[in-house]
Structure 1
Amino acid sequence: MSESDRDESTERRAVVLDYLAHGHSTGGRRQYDRSPTGYALDVDDFGLYEVAFDEDERLTIGTRVVIEPPEARTVVEDAWPVEYDALSSGAHSELEYVIQDLIDENEERFVDFYNDAQPITLRLHQLNLLPGIGKKLRNAILEERKRKPFESFDELSERVSGLHDPDEILVERILEELRDDDLKYRTFVGREAESKN
């Protein structure tokens, strides 16, 4: 592995959800004194961040930025994790679309979730954590994947009767994991960060 490959694999990247060119309006300082700030979503583990941006840069929603390690940052001055409720209204409104885009870009990874999901306890399976997937649908997915692993969301929908929009089900689950701090089981949010530490 080359030096540049190694550096890129340890970088944490995020998608800008909201860019506030003049910082937060609640800062108490005059508008022209405020530094640009915003919110971003980690592309791997869906962690939420508040981000301080370089004053010389102008960013748009959807821009990819490096948030870690600090020495790899180009337009980001600082980044710190935040909860869902701390996001701006603009970031809230973009979140679902950005998650959908990330799932679409990484279809193989998320189809593999359907292929690889395992029981959590004797009575609960990872598939049952997904909105709208009960015992009957879970068993249909398990039966079909025994025959042959799924290769796409379209194939999942075609082969499993009653499973519509498997990608949108994942978007709903990720949003639920972001919104609800008290969830007992997390399948997507924070998982990549845990595996890297």
Structure 2
Amino acid sequence: MKKTNYGHKKDKKRKFEDYAYILDYLEYGYSDDIRPAHQKKPLAQAFGEKQFVLMELILKDDCPVELAERVYIGKDKRDKVDFVAKMIKYEELTPTAKTELFYVIKEAVKRNENRFVEFINNCGPITNRMHMLQLLPGIGKTVMWKIIEERELRPFKTFEEIEGRVHRNVMDAIARRIEAELKEPQKYYLFVEWKEHHLDYN
């Protein structure tokens, strides 16, 4: 089935990440890399802050990183990252990266608060029987209608306001949905943009 992304406006311009969060730091590369140690580069698995892509970063020598650290990967001079090697899939993440993923997704959602509050204020039905809000974990029909009623009275401005008026932690629900879209195929995609091209940040 064709993947449909309802959370993004389509843009013909190619998008790039400026920041990523470290999911796992592999000082000596992957354990199954049989090359001599002197040929290996330190690398990290990471999560893109705006496009929500999973990626492999090649790090500069003598520039260790911490789990959940936000690192610059944009076009200008980078302090710790040499280049973005490739996009990866959820199945390729290390156990440590999988454990860390939800927490860094939450941090990215916080930093994109305006974008997601706008989504809550404006999202609509997908079909005659399904609303986008219902794709968020923990948002059933009762909460969905409460959100719709409240936003018609007055648009939401922050996550805190949504939680106060609707009594649901929408930020966590969005983070859970993003994690689910990264983990396995979905009929409908709200937030994760699936890109086939290689991320060229060199």
TM-score, normalization: structure 2?
0.79
RMSD: 2.5
Q: Could you list the runs of 5+ residues in structure 1 that have no partner in the other structure?
A: 1-8
> For 1:7-35, what per-residue CA distance to the aligned partner results, in whole angstroms no more than 9, with x for missing partners?
xx955321121111111111013445421
> For 1:146-167, what per-residue CA distance to the aligned partner results, in whole angstroms no more than 9, with x for missing partners?
000111222212222xx42111
Q: State the AA in 1 paired with 2:186.
A: L
Q: 2:175 maps to which residue?
A: 171
Q: State the AA in 2 paired with 1:178.
A: L
Q: 2:120 maps to which residue?
A: 114
Q: 1:187 maps to which residue?
A: 190
Cα distance, 1:72 vs. partner?
5.5
More helix by share: 1
Q: 1:72 to 1:192 in 2, by over 3 A?
A: farther
| Structure having greater relative contact order (Cα 8 Å, sep ≥ 6) | 2
Q: 1:68 to 1:158 in 2, by over 3 A?
A: closer
Alpha-carbon distance between aligned partners in 1 of 2:194 and 2:38, rounded to the nearest angstrom: 39
Matches for 1:106-185 after TM superposition, within 5 Å: 106-160=112-166, 163-180=167-184, 182-185=185-188
Q: State the AA in 2 paired with 1:35.
A: K
Verify the 8 A CA contact 2:17 2:50 in the aligned structure 1.
no
Q: 2:99 maps to which residue?
A: 93
Q: 1:3 maps to which residue?
A: none
Q: Find the residue that maps to 1:118 and give its secondary structure.
A: coil
Alpha-carbon distance between aligned partners in 2 of 1:192 and 1:144, rounded to the nearest angstrom: 35
Verify the 8 A CA contact 1:17 1:38 in the aligned structure 2.
yes
Q: 1:68 to 1:184 in 2, by over 3 A?
A: farther
Matches for 1:15-94 after TM superposition, within 5 Å: 15-67=21-73, 69=75, 73=78, 75-94=81-100
Aligned residues: 182
Q: Could you list the runs of 5+ residues in structure 2 that have no partner in the other structure?
A: 1-14, 197-202
Alpha-carbon distance between aligned partners in 2 of 1:191 and 1:20, rounded to the nearest angstrom: 26
Cα distance, 1:77 vs. partner?
2.7
TM-score, normalization: structure 1?
0.81
